[in-house]
């Protein structure tokens, strides 16, 4: 799986624009995240002199697990991509940037065929909410028996454990080792 675009034509002529439509059924994210719809990517690259401006969007759907109850959660992804691309040999013309600044500001390519798979992956992952929940009210799993408390209650002693005591218990546990 690799999602590449050919920058050859747009790179050579200032003022031109190239459009790209990419689609893939399979896209590896992480072990916990699965793509459940084809990933569709539309891109427009414009040559503004030394810098190529890339704009576009990614559209797909991700299946993740609820952080509390571990049930699958479907998350639609519609995220905008914006990057500035610079050809490696042109770097010295775009400004006096340190290596770190270049990494922060630009995507540097040294071949007309530019693989953007990792960039797309980053955009998709950062488009996900930081806390994935099936519902805000999700009751999660029983810490003792693992019962999904959204489905039914269990018979475990549900007395709240004082979090401070829990930390203490953990500390004692560590000391015993």
Binding site for Zn ion (CB under 5 A): 66, 68-69, 134, 138, 142, 144-145, 147, 154, 156
CB of 27 to Zn ion, least distance (A): 25
Task: Give the closest residue to 72 by CA, choosing from 148, 17, 7.
Answer: 148
- What does the DSSP 8-state code read for residue 89? G
- Spatial CA neighbour of 111 closest among 92, 93, 85: 85
Question: Angle at Cα 73 formed by Cα 72 and Cα 74, nearest 5°?
Answer: 125
DSSP-assigned states of every residue in 4-73: EEE-HHHHHSTT-EEEEEEEES----BTTBEE-S-EEEEEEEEEETTEEEEEEEEEEEEEEE-TTT--EE
Dihedral of alpha carbons 108, 84, 60, 123, sign: positive
Q: Do the Cβ atoms of 14 and 125 come closer than 8 Å?
A: no
């Amino acid at each position: 799986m690799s999602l590449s675009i050919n920058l050859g034509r747009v790179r050579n002529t200032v003022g031109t624009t190239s459009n790209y439509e990419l689609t893939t059924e399979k896209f590896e994210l992480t072990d916990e995240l699965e793509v459940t719809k084809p990933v569709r990517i539309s891109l427009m690259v414009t040559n503004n002199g030394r810098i190529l401006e890339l704009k576009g969007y990614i559209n797909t759907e991700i299946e993740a697990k609820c952080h509390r109850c571990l049930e699958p959660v479907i998350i639609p992804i519609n995220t905008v991509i914006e990057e500035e691309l610079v050809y490696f040999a042109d770097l010295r013309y775009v400004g006096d940037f340190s290596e770190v600044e270049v990494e922060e500001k630009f995507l540097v390519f040294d071949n007309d065929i530019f693989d953007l798979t990792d960039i797309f992956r980053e955009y998709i992952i950062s488009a996900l909410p930081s806390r994935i929940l099936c519902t805000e009210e999700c009751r999660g799993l029983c810490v003792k028996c693992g019962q999904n408390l959204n489905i039914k209650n269990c018979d475990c002693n549900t007395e709240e454990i004082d979090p401070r005591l829990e930390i203490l218990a953990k500390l004692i546990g560590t000391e015993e080792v």
